[in-house]
Amino acid sequence: MWRRMFIAVGFGFLVVFSLLGMGATPKRVNLAITMEPKSIDPNIAYGTEFLRVVNNLFLPLVDYDYTKQAPLPRIAESWTVSEDGLTYIFHLRKDVKWSDGKPLTAHDVVYTVRRIVNPDTASPFGFWFDMIKGVKEVAAGESADLTAIGVKAIDDYTVEFDLVYPAAYFLQLLYAVMRPVPEWAIEEHGEKWTRPENIVVNGPYLLTSWEPYNEIVLKKNPLYYDAKNVEIEEVHFYYVKEPSTIFSMYLTGELDSIRVPGDLLDRVKADPNLAKQLHTGSSAGVMYIGFRCDKPPFDNPLVRKAFAAATDKETLVKEVRRSGEQVAFTFIPPGIVGHVPNSEGIGIPYDPEKAREYLAQAGYPNGEGFPTVKFGFAATTSDKKIAEALQAMWQNTLGVKIEMLPREHKTYFETIQAGAYNIFRLSWGADFPDGHDFLYYTFHTKYGEGTIKWDVVDFDSLVEKAARTSDLAERKELYKQAQKLLVEDEAAVIPLFWYAYNILTKPYIERPYSPVCTWELRLEEWRFVGEK
């Protein structure tokens, strides 16, 4: 889901600590957010930065532990699955309440699924539920009867899902997108239901303030079922675009935990105190270059292969990013079902001579006659460095001209979809730990994001079959074949690297770290272990 592009402009502010209760200072953490959320409706919000807020307000039906690589109870305390994998029955906790005091029931789950798949909602997750009976018919306009889809409340605390195929990743999918919302609040307030004065939540925190492009404030939800174990009472997200400003604010104590910009990582490691506060690890995401495969000259696979072979990923990782990332030749990162190690030889390695050979075979020897390439990327400091490095590699190796077209995040993705660029930089991070998330939702020719505009039915067949296959070994082989088509045979994208996380956290805070929990998705698990 990451189309994660870091944006930047700093601002100054005075941190004012409010008081709670009998004059006691609340246990509070201050964090930075680099994008202004378009929405905090959990059925609509899309993108990692937004989920840092959303996932602390709304609980998932099923949770997931990336360390143990297993689904966990959350709203659903238990579940059963039929032998054929087509029927899931979930038994809900009876102590989960909405912040207005109403109990959360199976009817809320049913309402939410229907709302997500309703075309009128325009949820980006609607077609993700295509394994549920009746959803494809609704999406195709063949049926308008949302009550006929395969989800029903057996009683107030039991809900049943009926599937059309045994999706092996169904529980993980529920973790990613199934967060119940309050029907009555939405009916009363419409699109304004997520404003602080209207919103009704069920998670560990309440939304108490939202000043666009300035500050979002969360406070502990006293009606959260496990409120007694939530130690952090307030969370302040400050909108700060510039990574260097974020780093400075951490040094001055204005922020309590940050992601370290790559160009500052060496400085952090060299500082004895900061080095002790640094937490690193692999992150379940990939940065890549995409091509518009339907437009000349990139409608020719030889041209795309030429650019792939001219891309020096080692230099990009070691000299430009410098953040501990791992060079990627396939798309799915380590730790995700379907990952193919680089050692298996899939992908196009850096080979300048081969790159020039591919371009000559395509009819452009030494770049002669090749049109100017429009290269799109997010208008951020970090993206600009990557783009400049790639521009130099491609121009120097292939003899082509690359026009740099940075764009602000707010309209960047839509501009890609509109076809403004020949080449563009994007990222994808795990919504859930399965290749279906990385391949089907991104590059399926009908149901994907629609960025590369290719038409390879063999790829569609492979990822569709993988979605319907229960055997893990077979699924991995299908994802391997699909990735070979994507990054080698068709070279529709160039995987650059798999992400790493580098997090600075103040020594008085203890918090979890995992491949997808590095964006403060579980603030209820944070603890103070010393004086601030």
pLDDT of residue 20: 38
pLDDT of residue 518: 55
Give the rounded percent of residues in the chain with a pLDDT score beyond 70: 95
pLDDT, one tens digit per residue, over 388-427 is: 999 999 999 999 999 999 998 778 999 999 999 999 999 9
Mean pLDDT in residue range 92-106? 98
pLDDT of residue 241: 86
Whether 404 contacts 387, CB under 8 Å: yes
* pLDDT above 90 (res 297): yes
Record the pTM. Answer: 0.87
- Tokens representing 240 are 């700060």
Mean pLDDT score of the chain? 92
Q: What are phi and psi of 367, to 5 degrees?
A: 80, 5
Rounded CA-CA distance 111/61 in Å is 13
Rounded CA-CA distance 57/53 in Å is 7
Position 475 confidence tier, pLDDT thresholds 50, 70, 90: very high
* pLDDT above 60 (res 5): no
Q: For the chain, what percentages of helix, strand and coil (3-state, to nearest 5) are there? A: 35, 20, 45
In 345-487, alpha helices (H): 352-361, 381-398, 409-417, 435, 441-443, 457-467, 472-484
DSSP-derived pairing of the beta strands 234-239 and 28-33:
parallel
pLDDT of residue 386: 96
pLDDT of residue 7: 31
Give the rounded percent of residues in the chain with a pLDDT score beyond 90: 80
* pLDDT above 60 (res 37): yes
Whether 487 contacts 494, CB under 8 Å: yes
Q: Identify which has the larger pLDDT, 192 or 52.
A: 192
Rounded CA-CA distance 202/79 in Å is 20
pLDDT of residue 19: 36
> Residue 30's closest CA among 501, 502, 523, 529?
523
Lowest mean pLDDT among 120-124, 141-145, 440-444, 459-463: 141-145
Position 139 confidence tier, pLDDT thresholds 50, 70, 90: confident
> Residue 527's closest CA among 494, 496, 502, 505?
505
Lowest mean pLDDT among 274-288, 331-345, 381-395, 507-521: 507-521
Written as one letter, the residue type at 495 is P
* pLDDT above 60 (res 158): yes
Whether 382 contacts 339, CB under 8 Å: no
pLDDT of residue 25: 76
pLDDT of residue 49: 74
* pLDDT above 80 (res 520): no
pLDDT of residue 516: 67
The CA radius of gyration of the chain, in Å to the nearest whole number, is 24
Distances (CA, A) of 30 to 6, 249, 294: 19, 10, 46
* pLDDT above 70 (res 469): yes
Position 24 confidence tier, pLDDT thresholds 50, 70, 90: low
CB burial readout 280-312, b (16+ within 10 A) else e: bebbbbbbbbbbbbeeebbebbbbbbbbbbbbb
> Residue 72's closest CA among 525, 529, 441, 526?
525
* pLDDT above 50 (res 21): no
Q: What are phi and psi of 186, to 5 degrees?
A: -70, -40
pLDDT, one tens digit per residue, over 220-272 is: 999 999 999 999 999 999 999 888 999 999 999 999 999 998 889 999 999 99
Q: Identify which has the larger pLDDT, 309 or 51.
A: 309
Q: Could you give the angle at which helices 301-309 and 352-361 cross, rounded to 10 degrees?
A: 160
Helices then strands, each counted (H, E), the chain: 17, 19
pLDDT of residue 382: 84
Lowest mean pLDDT among 14-23, 189-198, 445-454: 14-23
